[in-house]
Chain A
Amino acid sequence: MLSTARGKAGSTTASRQTATPWGRSAQDATGPRAGAWLAWLAAASIAVFLTSNPLYLATACLVALTVYASIPGNARQRVYGLIIKVGLFFALLSIPFNLLTGSTGPTVLFELPRLTFPGWLGGVTLGGAATAESLLYAIDRALRLIALLLFAAAFNVGVDHYRLLRLMPSALKQMGVVITVSVLLIPQAIGQARAVMEAQRLRGRAVRGLRSLAGLTVPVLAGALERSLQRAESLDARGFGSLDPSARGRNRWAVLLSVGGLGLAAGGAFAYFYYGGTPLTAGAAMASGFVLAAFAVRVQGEGAGGSRYSHESWTGRDGFVVGCALLSTALLILLRLLDTGDATYIPYPSVTAPAFHPLGALAFLLLLAPALASAARNGRRREDEDD
């Protein structure tokens, strides 16, 4: 379903050819702003973590899929389409794996042959009775994984990576550019793999087996390497990394300071979780570590020598997306605090039907905001065109 929507070499070319050179067309980058997307992703992640109810998780998957499908086609969809497929495969694979590696609960569905490893291999038991409780638990976990994956995919396809980068502190911007550029290389490599496979067939070689894989890997890797070098060359030629020389000395100190700060924070967390440190001392260590790191990042940013083109203007649509995200989180936290809304579900000790509360469902449906906003906009544009 995902791949038929878009993500084919041919369709990219087709969209190029029909690209209209006038006005704010469908190809205009006018989705929600990077900040709004970020708020949406945060709310979605919180929602998925706050619930274990399979009905809500299934709703979350559908919501994420709807948002993903509502985003106008772009090159990144080719990558994330593939990532979603691989993720789905592993998430679904985890269900039988969970059943195989230990089922508990009274409702036995079927018996599997039992295999117990000797003590020196850990004494693990595989197989045995597969129970409905374990099955439901495994499905629940897979659903959570799929929901997170779909939300992350929708965010990554929808958000403008470069503008997201502008929201980062200056000191981290260079690293961000490097990451953005690496991500850009993936769709190109996929396109090239297709071209190479085709070229192999044109030389009478069916692309099957390990031997043909060698013929595929070398040109794809070599091509990717060549393109990376070209990009590095171009970044250099466009003044990337032209740091203010006077800031270089200060920079080294800032790096040391940020590493020290992060180390302090990690030490605090480690002491609390593993060595039974008191919450107060651990909390103090973590807080001071983060403050130190933030300060260092700020100092470093001053020497980064860059400037920012523009801050994005805030539109009603962004307000709508952020509002819905906040409302969703608030609603779920409230339901958890009041212990209503059936956000949590545990199939043990014995399996029961998960409950469904309209307010709980609403919290997830609010996350449809980006899709609703784009549908409203498309509707308006069609009206304009009809006029």
Chain B
Amino acid sequence: MIRVEELSFAYPKAAGPVLRGVNLSIPEGEAVLVVGPSGGGKSTLLRCLNGLVPHFHGGSFAGRVSVDGEDTLKHQPRELARKVGLVFQDPESQFVADVVEDELAFGMENMGVPRLTMRKRVEEVLDVLGIAHLRRRRLDTLSGGELQRVAIGAVLTVQPRVLVLDEPTSQLDPQAAEEVLTVVQRLNSDLGLTIVMAEHRLERVVQYVDRVLYMPGDGSVASYPVRQAMERLPIAPPVARIGRALGWAPLPLSVREGKPFAKRSALPPLSDTRSDAGDSQASVVVEKAHLSYGDADVIRGVSLHAFPGQVLALMGRNGAGKTSLLRSLVGLLTPRKGTVSVLGEDIAGSSTEELTRRVALVPQDPASILFHDTVEGEIADTLKGTGREGSVEEALAEWRLESLRRAHPRDLSAGERQRAALAAMLVGRPPVILLDEPTRGMDYETKRLLMDNLRRRCREGCTVILASHDVELVGSCADRVVLLAEGEVAAAGPTRDVLTESLTFSTQVNKLFGDRYLTVEDVLAAEEMERIGASNS
């Protein structure tokens, strides 16, 4: 279906090529996952498949890409639209119409599909994607998962042979991501559609795909059958990492496949290893706070305590009030009732500008804060604005940005931009750090760096509060969890208590081993103890 021969490509004015001598062949009906660090050329490769590269982006292109026998160099993307449907990261940036049904028909209208055929195809796609109930809804009233499903539907009505998805879930919460990935999997297994998808959340997709294309960032592409990829590549979901470490064969890719192995290994019950706050005094205290936008209450009577040296995670569905709560801790939202105090002081009278000296909040879209010409300029600006003491050098080193210090933030890859934004917001060692969905769309490498840096800051006595849907992140770095639902506290306590008694908010490792196991490290340590115990006796 897709053949790529000796493909090399460089963007106009770029220092070097993004793709170098790539050779690939994807047969019809296969589901292929494209992985690799951000900035490694995944999006570029996907855009080669429908001719957007080079027709839309320009640049120097060598080699040949053909889809269903058609050379992408000889055909414009709008002609290839009949063969290849491309779904982008942000669904809202691709819509034209106001209503779902009209959006689904837009592509067909462009191609002059007869009206009766259009009608039939719209009905079919509504059913296949399970969005028939949304047909008359306005697009601006849909949730993120619904929007992305409509975006997929909008390219499917043209009946393409290949569906290409560029990180379709990076803007979504886990529930919405699940909705979208389930649909994609069905399109592949029920309709035999060829799928090529870039995606960071391996634990969600790896069990559905046939093959993995790994792009390490040097312009090359390595192709592996999925199980082989999980055995060899540096990135893998927790279940595969455990399987690899413990020599499980064939390597499990999902909780279901891993369960029999986990049963056999019969690990002992886990004693809690995390230290508690002890007698230290809480650095952030929220007492019976009520927060509202206009007439709508988003937080109702929430109390919480965060301690120095600990990470507190706020979890819950979209709209549960996590972001609002974080905003109130830095004075962007004033409680209607109740109090908020930071480092022993009630913040009621302080402005956000004053508070930023002690409290740093990294917003959901960190890239939106960057506006200087250089990365070091961004960092220096925060130091000047907040009056914190710190060094630009230290921040550059902490977030591995030394080589990019003079780069323009808009020229950076998504992952680099996230690092630049984190460096700019967290410079000067503020004693309280607030992070809003820090790992959304983040690659494994940046995520690991974030976790390491947060742990180090905690050891230095910093208080970290993070709002996140990312169960794996919370499981491996949070000390305590507050689970919010409808603006109220639904559960609160040590991470191991909250995450191990939950159906949806539990890690892959906990689903495998149960008890109080949360992370790959927990399992490996217990296994090691077992082995030592066995050899001693």
B368 to chain A: closest residue by CB: A195
Q: Which of B115-123, B238-246, B268-276 contacts A (4 or more CB under 8 A)?
A: B115-123
Q: Which residue of the partner chain, among B119, B143, B371, contacts A215 with CB atoms under 8 Å?
A: B371
User: Which residues of chain B are within 8 angstroms of A223 by Cβ–Cβ distance?
Assistant: 368
Q: Which of B2-10, B78-86, B527-535 contacts A (4 or more CB under 8 A)?
A: B78-86
Q: Is A238's CB under 8 angstroms from B356's CB?
A: no
| A-side interface size class | 35 or more
Q: Is B141's CB under 8 angstroms from A27's CB?
A: yes
Q: Is A237's CB under 8 angstroms from B52's CB?
A: yes
Q: Is B52's CB under 8 angstroms from A203's CB?
A: no
Q: Is B385's CB under 8 angstroms from A162's CB?
A: no
User: Which residues of chain B are within 8 angstroms of A215 by Cβ–Cβ distance?
Assistant: 371
Q: Is B81's CB under 8 angstroms from A238's CB?
A: yes
Q: Which residue of the partner chain, among B82, B119, B158, B368, contacts A192 with CB atoms under 8 Å?
A: B368
Q: Is A244's CB under 8 angstroms from B424's CB?
A: no
Complex CA distance for A227 and B90, rounded to whole angstroms? 10
Q: Does B294 contact A (CB under 8 A)?
A: yes
A236 to chain B: closest residue by CB: B77
Q: Which residue of the partner chain, among A11, A25, A199, contacts B294 with CB atoms under 8 Å?
A: A11
Q: Is A305's CB under 8 angstroms from B293's CB?
A: no
Q: Is B319's CB under 8 angstroms from A308's CB?
A: no
User: Which residues of chain A are within 8 angstroms of B474 by Cβ–Cβ distance?
Assistant: none
Q: Is A219's CB under 8 angstroms from B368's CB?
A: yes
Q: Which residue of the partner chain, among B122, B319, B356, contacts A203 with CB atoms under 8 Å?
A: B356
User: Which residues of chain B are within 8 angstroms of A308 by Cβ–Cβ distance?
Assistant: 109, 115
Q: Is B386's CB under 8 angstroms from A203's CB?
A: yes
A16 to chain B: closest residue by CB: B143
User: Which residues of chain B are within 8 angstroms of A198 by Cβ–Cβ distance?
Assistant: 332, 363
**Per-position contact with A for B58-99: 1 when CB-CB < 8 Å, else 0?**
000000000000000000111101101110101011111111
CB distance from B243 to the nearest CB of A (A): 38
Residue among B94, B96, B144 with the highest chain A CB neighbour number at 10 A: B96
User: Which residues of chain A are within 8 angstroms of B293 by Cβ–Cβ distance?
Assistant: 8, 10-11, 14
Q: Is A195's CB under 8 angstroms from B363's CB?
A: yes
Q: Is B78's CB under 8 angstroms from A241's CB?
A: yes
Complex CA distance for A241 and B385, rounded to whole angstroms? 48
User: Which residues of chain B are within 8 angstroms of A204 by Cβ–Cβ distance?
Assistant: 353, 356-357, 382, 384-387
Residue among B294, B356, B360 with the highest chain A CB neighbour number at 10 A: B294
User: Which residues of chain A are within 8 angstroms of B137 by Cβ–Cβ distance?
Assistant: 19, 25, 27-29
Complex CA distance for A163 and B112, rounded to whole angstroms? 17
Q: Is B353's CB under 8 angstroms from A206's CB?
A: yes
Q: Is A19's CB under 8 angstroms from B115's CB?
A: no
B360 to chain A: closest residue by CB: A202
**Per-position contact with B for A159-183: 1 when CB-CB < 8 Å, else 0?**
0111100000000000001001100
Q: Is B82's CB under 8 angstroms from A29's CB?
A: no
Q: Is A231's CB under 8 angstroms from B98's CB?
A: no
Known A-B contacts A19-B142, A160-B99, A204-B385; the reply to A242 vs B81 at CB < 8 A is: yes
Q: Which residue of the partner chain, among B93, B112, B143, contacts A244 with CB atoms under 8 Å?
A: B112
Q: Which of B338-372 contact A (CB under 8 A)?
A: 351-353, 356-357, 360-361, 363, 365, 368-371
Q: Which residue of the partner chain, among B78, B86, B136, B146, contacts A242 with CB atoms under 8 Å?
A: B78
Q: Is A236's CB under 8 angstroms from B368's CB?
A: no
Known A-B contacts A10-B293, A162-B96, A238-B94; the reply to A306 vs B371 at CB < 8 A is: no
Complex CA distance for A309 and B82, rounded to whole angstroms? 17
Q: Which of A207-243 contact B (CB under 8 A)?
A: 215, 218-219, 222-223, 227, 230-242
Q: Is A231's CB under 8 angstroms from B94's CB?
A: yes
Q: Which residue of the partner chain, among B97, B113, B134, B382, contacts A162 with CB atoms under 8 Å?
A: B97
User: Which residues of chain A are within 8 angstroms of B106 by Cβ–Cβ distance?
Assistant: 238
CB distance from B365 to the nearest CB of A (A): 7
Q: Is A230's CB under 8 angstroms from B386's CB?
A: no
Q: Which of B8-66 contact A (CB under 8 A)?
A: 50, 52, 55-56
Complex CA distance for A75 and B138, rounded to whole angstroms? 10
Q: Does A315 contact B (CB under 8 A)?
A: no
CB distance from B69 to the nearest CB of A (A): 19
Q: Does B154 contact A (CB under 8 A)?
A: yes
Complex CA distance for A307 and B121, rounded to whole angstroms? 14
User: Which residues of chain B are within 8 angstroms of A17 by Cβ–Cβ distance?
Assistant: 143, 318-319
CB distance from A32 to the nearest CB of B (A): 14
Q: Which of A1-36 contact B (CB under 8 A)?
A: 4, 8, 10-17, 19, 21-25, 27-30
CB distance from A278 to the nearest CB of B (A): 46
CB distance from B157 to the nearest CB of A (A): 10
Q: Does A246 contact B (CB under 8 A)?
A: no
Q: Which of B257-304 contact A (CB under 8 A)?
A: 293-294, 296, 298
**Per-position contact with B for A273-313: 1 when CB-CB < 8 Å, else 0?**
00000000000000000000000000000000111111000
Q: Is B141's CB under 8 angstroms from A202's CB?
A: no
Q: Is A309's CB under 8 angstroms from B118's CB?
A: yes
A21 to chain B: closest residue by CB: B133
Complex CA distance for A21 and B92, rounded to whole angstroms? 19
User: Which residues of chain A are within 8 angstroms of B99 by Cβ–Cβ distance?
Assistant: 29, 160, 162-163
User: Which residues of chain A are within 8 angstroms of B318 by Cβ–Cβ distance?
Assistant: 17
Given contacts A10-B296, A188-B92, A196-B369, 19 further A-B contacts (CB under 8 A): A10-B294, A17-B318, A17-B319, A21-B133, A28-B138, A160-B99, A161-B98, A198-B332, A202-B425, A204-B382, A204-B384, A233-B52, A233-B56, A234-B94, A237-B81, A238-B106, A241-B78, A242-B78, A308-B109
Sorted from nearest, which 6 A-B pairs have the closest CB atoms? A204-B385, A17-B319, A27-B141, A204-B386, A309-B105, A239-B81
Of the A-B pairs whose beta carbons lie under 8 Å apart in the complex, a sample of 6, sorted by A's number, is A12-B140, A17-B318, A29-B138, A162-B98, A202-B425, A215-B371
